[in-house]
Amino acid sequence: MFTGEERRLWVMPRVRSSSVVTEPLFWRLTRDLRTDAEVRKRVRQLGLTHQLHNVVSAAYRGCSWYPGPPWSPRQLRLYGRFARNYLKPVRLPERVDNQNGGFYLYEFAKKPAGAVFPLYCLPGTEGCFFHAFKLCDEGKPREAVRVAERTAAELRGVPQAEMLLAMIYHALRDGERLFRISEEANRNGFVGAGNFKANGQGALATGRIEAAVKAFCRSYKVGRDPGSLSMLSMALQARANRSMKKGEFERAFRDLDHAVSLSPHDPGPLFFAAMALERRGKREEALWYARRAGTLAPEDERVADLMERLRKAVEGGSARARP
């Protein structure tokens, strides 16, 4: 069974697939049946042996476009029991990002697991967060948090649900809970470019700069998302600012020079790199960085003042060096 999106992926055998705008199979089964064993029996009768689920596309469509029919708390509890007892992960995605998606392959176990299977998501329940994200879009983040917390409580123990809740906290600028939830999800194996990026954003917002640098590096490594590089540049600038306050100007310049390479059109790291070089007495190099910053931000008075100060220092030094 193929769920989570509608693209043709050239799966060789005939497979059952579902449109996003439909009643999910497990929504119907949990509505009509009472135990996880009954659900497993019905899955066998349908001839289903595996499920391939694109968690990225399903979350995007379910949270942004069509939530699907509403799940009752009883249905979610039954579905969770079934997944923990019978939904065996056999292949996890090598990468999870917006461009490629994230494909989880499950096998429907014939008998209940001796120990519960790890639960990364409950395919088809992503739309439970639709109304929370809609409230965010309407500029009502506090109401969105209340709705999302209630939804996450009904999906307790599902890492994807926790991450969707974390995204709502992010809209409310709650960096601490964003960091804590994303850290736990990543530790439990529900990883992806977006999850690492969220973890980095939470870390940066709460002053965990080293953790932010590592998270943005992992995010780019997993998804090659240019947005991760911009966030990494911000983290490096934050680390450089901390080094500047400690008088560690050489270390600050290394981070800022790296930030320049990541965000070549951002005047910020160029400006602060020039300041770090000035503190080290390397005024000619500092002037070069300051002029590049001035090209990108011609109306910034701070940059103009720095360029003028450096120009006078360089010219004064050259005059003194003449015989």
Using one digit for the tens of pLDDT, what is the confidence trace for 85-127?
999 999 988 777 777 888 999 999 998 877 788 889 999 999 9
What gap in Å lies between CA 40 and CA 108, rounded to an integer? 8
Collapsed DSSP state (helix, strand, coil) of residue 293: helix
Higher pLDDT, 22 or 255: 255
Task: List phi, psi (to 5°) of 54.
Answer: -90, 100
* Reported confidence tier of residue 225, pLDDT bands at 50, 70, 90: confident
Q: Give the mean model confidence (pLDDT) for residues 298-317.
A: 91
Amino acid letter at 8? R
Q: Does residue 1 surpass a pLDDT of 90?
A: no
| Alpha helices for 46-100 (secondary structure H) | 55-64, 73-86
Q: Give the mean model confidence (pLDDT) for residues 18-34.
A: 88
Percentage of residues of the chain with pLDDT beyond 90: 73
What gap in Å lies between CA 217 and CA 197, rounded to an integer? 9
Q: Does residue 323 surpass a pLDDT of 50?
A: no
Taken in order of first residue, the domains within the chain and their CATH numbers are: 1-123 (no CATH), 244-318 (1.25.40.10)
- 54 token code pair: 């694109």
Higher pLDDT, 8 or 268: 268
Contact 219, 196 (CB under 8 A): yes
Give the closest residue to 125 by CA, choosing from 158, 93, 169, 88.
158
Higher pLDDT, 186 or 235: 235
Conformational region of residue 249, where left means phi above 0, alpha means psi within -120 to 50, and beta covers everything else: alpha
The confidence score (pLDDT) of residue 19 equals 67
Give the closest residue to 160 by CA, choosing from 128, 204, 203.
128
Ordered strands of the 103-108 beta sheet: 2-3, 50-54, 103-108, 87-91
The DSSP symbol for 72 reads: P
Tens digits of residue pLDDT in 191-215: 788 899 999 999 999 999 999 999 9
The confidence score (pLDDT) of residue 266 equals 94
Distances (CA, A) of 44 to 48, 53, 78, 88, 174: 6, 18, 17, 15, 45
Lowest mean pLDDT among 1-10, 11-20, 115-124, 161-170: 11-20
The confidence score (pLDDT) of residue 10 equals 66
Q: Give the mean model confidence (pLDDT) for residues 131-153.
A: 94
Give the closest residue to 168 by CA, choosing from 206, 130, 197, 204.
130
Q: Does residue 318 surpass a pLDDT of 80?
A: no
Q: Does residue 6 surpass a pLDDT of 80?
A: no
Collapsed DSSP state (helix, strand, coil) of residue 103: strand
- Chain-centroid distance, C-alpha 175: 13
Higher pLDDT, 162 or 190: 162
What gap in Å lies between CA 38 and CA 28, rounded to an integer? 13
Residues 6+ apart with CB under 8 A from 110: none
pTM of the model: 0.84
- 250 token code pair: 């050489």
What gap in Å lies between CA 265 and CA 282, rounded to an integer? 23
